[in-house]
């Protein structure tokens, strides 16, 4: 049995929450995060969907719009372990995954786990570190394990990476490898809040910052059970075929289209979207809602005139629901 098959089997063996309870759990977390984060309801939902669908998320935007605060708020809302990695040009892969240290007393090497050993890992400004360090997350994100000096160790369950990256100061950053970008289920931009939301935000942070008093509203076990609920959501063959045809369209209209990993990610995200809508089955609307954030960043276009997002929009317009 492969690692992927083992993971699927473990998920299906867990006790799942009723769909209505999983939907209520998501709403509870969202409302808690919105005590801190103003004007980004959709972004909060997208992060929860990535977590429930066993995926990872990349937040890209200019500095100061709340990327890190959003990830911290999600982490504090779930009673699990949280670690933050500040990516810098001198960061080494072992600073992320961990390292074997020689113990003078026992005369043996002991493994010191890196910050990747947590339920939620925040990779802050991931594109400031060189590709060698960025790639230290590849095995962790795909297989939920880390191999150091030939020894493989499992990561906590659940395990989610939320990474942020600046899209300014391009001369001081490194592009993420395509293989790593493809491992992020979703890529989001927060954008600036509107005037009303920013006014509300300023009122909340005028004294103590609200994140200081934020308390968990969900346990790790509840999150595991909600993940099992998502995994059990029914996806009929016409919906699966629709996802396949969307992926095929991107491959025929771009230099690099959506990989099978991307198709799987879209299907799982659609399952999570169905649960948030209190349904135990996926409808085409779930796929269409999730497609832009799940597929766009995986596409390399044939010319600089068109973006991956434009290819996805064209695919949604051109590919009929059958």
For the stretch 56-102, pLDDT in tens is 999 887 777 678 888 888 889 998 888 999 999 999 999 999 999 98
Question: Containing domain of residue 46, as a range?
Answer: 16-204
Angle, to 10 degrees, between the axis of helix 260-276 and the axis of helix 237-252?
A: 140
pLDDT at residue 235 greater than cutoff 90: yes
Instruction: Give the CA radius of gyration of the chain.
Output: 20
What's the Cα-to-Cα distance from 171 to each of 8, 167, 175, 178, 318, rounded to whole Å? 41, 10, 10, 19, 38
- Are residues 303 and 159 located together in one domain of the fold? no
DSSP-assigned states of every residue in 21-40: HHHHHHHHHHHHHTTT--S-
Euclidean distance between CA atoms 154 and 283, whole angstroms? 34
Rounded to an integer, the average pLDDT of 221-238 is 96
Euclidean distance between CA atoms 193 and 39, whole angstroms? 6
For the stretch 167-222, pLDDT in tens is 766 667 888 888 888 999 999 887 777 778 778 777 777 667 778 888 999 999 99
- Are residues 130 and 243 located together in one domain of the fold? no
For the stretch 108-132, pLDDT in tens is 889 999 999 999 999 988 988 988 8
Question: What's the domain count of the chain?
Answer: 2
CB 218 within 8 A of CB 78: yes
- Are residues 240 and 157 located together in one domain of the fold? no
- Are residues 160 and 278 located together in one domain of the fold? no
Query: What per-residue confidence (pLDDT) applies to 14?
Result: 62
- Are residues 185 and 47 located together in one domain of the fold? yes
Euclidean distance between CA atoms 87 and 109, whole angstroms? 27
Query: What per-residue confidence (pLDDT) applies to 104?
Result: 84
Residue 217 domain-assigned (yes or no): no
- Cα 112 vs. chain centroid, distance in angstroms? 26
Alpha carbon distance, N-terminus to C-terminus of the chain: 34
The whole-model pTM stands at 0.87
CATH code for the domain in which residue 86 is found: 3.40.50.300
Euclidean distance between CA atoms 18 and 24, whole angstroms? 10
Residue 56 domain-assigned (yes or no): yes
């Amino acid at each position: 049995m492969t690692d992927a098959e083992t993971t699927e089997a473990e998920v299906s063996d867990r006790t799942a929450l009723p769909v209505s309870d999983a939907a209520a759990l998501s709403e509870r977390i969202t409302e808690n995060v919105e005590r801190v984060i103003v004007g980004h309801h959709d972004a909060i939902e997208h992060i929860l969907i990535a977590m429930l669908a066993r995926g990872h998320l990349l937040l890209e935007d200019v500095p100061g719009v709340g990327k890190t605060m959003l990830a911290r708020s999600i982490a504090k809302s779930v009673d699990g372990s949280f670690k933050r990695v500040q990516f810098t040009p001198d960061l080494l892969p072992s600073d992320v995954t961990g390292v074997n240290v020689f113990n003078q007393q026992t005369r043996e090497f002991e493994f010191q786990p890196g910050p990747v050993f947590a339920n939620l890992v925040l990779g802050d400004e991931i594109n400031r570190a060189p590709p060698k360090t960025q790639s230290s997350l590849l095995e962790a994100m795909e297989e939920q394990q880390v191999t150091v000096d030939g020894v493989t160790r499992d990561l906590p369950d659940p395990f989610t990476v939320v990474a942020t990256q600046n899209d300014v100061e391009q001369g001081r950053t490194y592009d993420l490898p395509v293989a790593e970008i493809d491992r992020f289920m979703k890529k989001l931009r927060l954008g600036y809040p509107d005037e009303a939301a920013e006014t509300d935000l300023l009122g909340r942070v005028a004294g103590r910052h609200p994140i200081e008093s934020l308390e968990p509203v969900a346990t790790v076990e509840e999150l595991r059970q909600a993940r099992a609920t998502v995994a059990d959501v029914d996806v009929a063959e016409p919906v699966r075929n629709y996802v396949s045809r969307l992926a095929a369209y991107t491959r025929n209209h771009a230099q690099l289209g959506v990989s099978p990993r991307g198709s799987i990610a879209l299907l799982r995200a659609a399952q999570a979207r169905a649960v948030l809508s209190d349904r135990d089955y996926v409808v085409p609307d779930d796929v269409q809602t999730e497609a832009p954030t799940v597929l766009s960043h995986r596409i390399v276009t044939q010319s600089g005139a068109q973006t991956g997002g434009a290819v996805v929009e064209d695919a949604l317009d051109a590919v009929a629901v059958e």
